[in-house]
Amino acid sequence: MLIDSHCHPDGDEFDDDRAAMFERAAAAGVDGLVAIGGGAEPGTLAVGLECARTFQGHAGLKLWATVGIHPHDAARATSPANAAIWEELGQLAADPLIIAIGEIGLDYHYHHSPKEAQRDAFERQLRLAAACGLPVSVHCREAFDDCVALIAAHNPPARGVFHCFAGSWAEAEQALALGWYLSFSGVLTFNNAHGLRATAAAAPADRILIETDAPFLAPVPYRGKRNEPAFVAATAARLAEIRNVSPEAIARLTRENFFRLFPRAIL
């Protein structure tokens, strides 16, 4: 059975068929998934958690969630008007369904928030994760050096995963040296992703996860369409091919890795 370690099932892309989307995931061999949090103002942070609660057990699925402020939203979240968001984040993080702080990190590609605000929000949330004893799910785009520097500077060292990892082998080595995990998404199946496939082939078996990041980044043969958790099976199949092991072996090891990284996740 497969676990989609990072997706956004609360997204309005699924408003018309959310229950059926979960049923398709179960039919595709998924038995657990993580609804990633969002929000930038007080009162908006529980989107993933609410989705996980509402659909808990639907089609036999186990749903977990995260809470966190995305780098895109860092400017709003760090503005004095929204100061209450930080206490709320800490309160939500205590919920037993919350298995990580995320997605947090740095995004210098879209640059929706100034770098300073992004780094501030990231650091605050690394501290929060440490205080709660939770791992983190990191979104990092064109900001790898800064991400690694902030993670490494943190004491005690943060534990976590680079979600939707699409970096170079040299970057993978740095992430692995920190004891971190790499999560592969549908990008792994894209025609031009030769370098990423080489990285996925060489990464240690005990450090890899799979995810969809649905509704974004649908894997081949669904590329360009709305992504959904069922499609994690296509990424798992490609990862099995790349590593020359059976799909069952990939399901087993990514599952073991998931439960090791996220100890609060209990089936």
User: Residues in the site for Zn ion, rule: CB under 5 A?
Assistant: 103, 139, 213
Closer to Zn ion by Cβ: residue 213 or 228: 213
Closer to Zn ion by Cβ: residue 113 or 243: 113
Round to the nearest angstrom and report the end-to-end CA distance of the chain: 12
Token pair in block for residue 182: 């790499």
Closer to Zn ion by Cβ: residue 10 or 103: 103
The CB-of-155 to Zn ion minimum distance in angstroms stands at 26
What residues does 32 pair with on adjacent strands? 3, 62
The CB-of-72 to Zn ion minimum distance in angstroms stands at 9
The CB-of-249 to Zn ion minimum distance in angstroms stands at 26
Q: How far is residue 3's CA from residue 23's CA, in Å, rounded to a whole number? A: 14
Closer to Zn ion by Cβ: residue 66 or 174: 66
The CB-of-26 to Zn ion minimum distance in angstroms stands at 21
Q: What is the DSSP letter of 216?
A: S
Alpha helix ranges (H) inside the chain? 18-27, 47-54, 74-77, 85-93, 115-132, 144-153, 169-177, 194-202, 232-243, 247-261
Q: How far is residue 135's CA from residue 156's CA, in Å, rounded to a whole number? A: 12
Burial 38-61 (b: 16+ CB within 10 A, else e): bbbbbebbbbbbebbeebeeebeb
- The answer to whether the beta carbons of residues 76 and 42 sit under 8 Å apart is no
The CB-of-213 to Zn ion minimum distance in angstroms stands at 5
Closer to Zn ion by Cβ: residue 139 or 207: 139
Closer to Zn ion by Cβ: residue 134 or 164: 164
Closer to Zn ion by Cβ: residue 73 or 213: 213
Going from the C-alpha of 44 to that of each of 40, 47, 87, the distances in angstroms are: 7, 7, 13
User: In sequence order, which residues have a C-beta less than 8 Å from that of residue 53 and are 6 or more positions away?
Assistant: 63, 97
The CB-of-104 to Zn ion minimum distance in angstroms stands at 10
Closer to Zn ion by Cβ: residue 180 or 243: 180
| Residue of this chain nearest to Zn ion (CB atom) | 139
Do you find a cis peptide bond into 135, omega within 30 degrees of 0? no
The CB-of-183 to Zn ion minimum distance in angstroms stands at 10
The CB-of-139 to Zn ion minimum distance in angstroms stands at 3
